[in-house]
């Protein structure tokens, strides 16, 4: 088996978990129900004998944050994007690096801000995907759905290609509830978790075939990169010229040889406070009470206190998140609407959307 190069994408705007997450403290820098930050956990779960040191691709404004979060971890490289251009160009930079250094190896593309409870299941899925990837398939990992979630895209599987791998019939956008229910009922549909395994050259070839402009601009940005002490800065002008497209849209959907390996591994993208509540330890009444927080006669609440004291009394299904400089309260099932507050604050150029709170 070839070495696997973890490529960890550290983007994120810090909107969905505001005020915990901020522009200058994105979700992957937080400890969300773990002892370590999400990005450090992502690095840790893809380490060991079969793995190369990780390649991190991050926004250049997050350089210090990434270094701090991964202090003590040997990195293969830290690639800094001069501007955010979504995942297709970001992965292209890492693919160029790996294709040059170790053309036979594989790259494992992972978001830095997902939770995976069962790391053994994750590594087993990666191992079983490796032969397909070596054989030139673009492999994605499909999460076995346990509910008709409308917040994720779905991967429809076709015939088997290996013991666990199947050809991808089609990627489906985030569905309406009825469609999601039909997918779950039918079986053979999996959540798209944004985790991919492939040879670097396979990716670059597929990008060139399906999004030639991005491929060209990313290649030029890579050629013009400036490397200092393990930190790689691609050419800003050429990188910024890349169209802002996801790997799903630019590569996976149009590609021919794409496979899915289903996996059940306690995965969550913690895409909002409802998802965060679901993965946190809860009391007998379903309350997740974190930090200097307390509840009295509450059920199914999330009360999170950081740098301040927070208390809830007599509330059901409410999220209360308090930091040193900002507090938000909303129904758990409408927790995505915290975005509306962030939008209003950004329109007012409020620093609370940008800067992390100060420790108490």
- Binding residues for a copy of itself, per CB under 8 A? 19, 294, 296-297, 305, 308-315, 318, 320, 322, 324-331, 334, 337-338, 340-341, 344-345, 350, 352, 360
Least Å distance, CB 281 to a copy of itself, is 20
Identify which of residues 257 and 350 has a Cβ nearer to a copy of itself in the complex. Answer: 350
Q: What is the SS3 assignment for 199?
A: strand
Residue listed under structure tokens 């400036």: 226
Question: To the nearest whole angstrom, how small is the minimum distance from the Cβ of residue 316 to a copy of itself?
Answer: 10
Q: Kindly tell me the sign of the dihedral angle through the C-alpha atoms of 247, 252, 258, 260.
A: positive
* Cβ(59)–Cβ(233) below 8 Å: no
- Closest approach, Cβ 174 to a copy of itself, in A, equals 22
Minimum distance, C-beta of residue 277 to a copy of itself, in the bound complex (Å):
15
Write down the least CB distance from residue 356 to a copy of itself, Å: 14
**CA neighbor of 91 nearest in space, from 191, 4, 213, 8:** 8
Give the C-alpha separation, 250 to 252, whole Å. 7
Region of residue 333 (phi > 0: left; psi between -120 and 50: alpha; otherwise: beta):
alpha
Kindly tell me the sign of the dihedral angle through the C-alpha atoms of 5, 9, 10, 14. Answer: negative
Tell me the closest approach of the beta carbon of residue 326 to a copy of itself, in angstroms: 4
Nearer Cβ to a copy of itself (237/283)? 283
Of 225 and 326, CB closest to a copy of itself: 326
Distance of CA 119 to the CA centre of its chain: 16
Nearest in space to 244 (alpha carbons), one of 52, 27, 120, 83: 83
- State which residue, 256 or 337, has the beta carbon closest to a copy of itself: 337
Please, are residues 34 and 23 in contact by the beta-carbon 8 Å criterion? no
Q: Closer to a copy of itself by CB, 167 or 334: give it.
A: 334
| Nearer to a copy of itself (CB atom), residue 44 or residue 345 | 345
């Amino acid at each position: 088996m070839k070495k696997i190069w973890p490529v960890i994408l550290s983007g994120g705007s810090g909107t969905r978990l505001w005020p915990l997450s901020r522009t200058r403290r994105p979700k992957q820098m937080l400890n969300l129900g773990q002892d370590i930050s999400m990005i450090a956990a992502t690095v840790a779960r893809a380490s060991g004998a079969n793995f190369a040191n990780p390649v991190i691709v991050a926004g250049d404004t997050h350089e210090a944050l990434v270094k701090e979060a991964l202090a003590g971890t040997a990195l293969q490289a830290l690639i800094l994007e001069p501007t955010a251009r979504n995942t297709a160009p970001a992965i292209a930079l890492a693919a160029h690096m790996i294709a040059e250094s170790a053309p036979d190896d594989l790259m494992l593309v992972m978001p830095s801000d997902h939770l995976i409870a069962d790391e053994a299941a994750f590594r087993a899925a990666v191992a079983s995907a490796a032969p397909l990837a070596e054989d030139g398939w673009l492999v994605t990992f499909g999460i076995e759905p346990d509910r008709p979630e409308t917040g994720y895209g779905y991967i429809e599987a076709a015939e088997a290609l290996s013991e666990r791998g199947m050809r991808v019939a089609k990627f489906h956008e985030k569905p309406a509830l009825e469609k999601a229910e039909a997918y779950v009922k039918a079986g053979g549909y999996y959540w798209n978790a944004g985790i991919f395994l492939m040879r670097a050259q396979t990716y670059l070839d597929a990008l060139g075939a399906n999004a030639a402009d991005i491929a060209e601009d990313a290649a030029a940005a890579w050629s013009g990169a400036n490397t200092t002490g393990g930190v790689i800065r691609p050419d800003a002008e050429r990188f910024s010229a890349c169209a802002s497209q996801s790997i799903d849209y630019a590569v996976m959907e149009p590609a021919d040889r794409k496979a899915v390996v289903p996996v059940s591994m306690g995965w969550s993208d913690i895409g909002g406070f409802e998802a965060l509540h679901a993965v946190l330890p809860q009391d007998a009444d379903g309350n997740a009470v974190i930090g200097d927080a307390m509840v009295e006669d509450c059920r199914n609440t999330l009360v999170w206190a950081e740098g301040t004291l927070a208390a809830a009394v007599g509330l059901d299904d409410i999220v209360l998140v308090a930091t040193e400089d900002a507090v938000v309260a909303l129904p758990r099932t409408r927790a995505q609407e915290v975005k509306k507050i962030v939008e209003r604050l950004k329109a007012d150029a409020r620093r609370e959307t940008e800067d992390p709170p100060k420790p108490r």
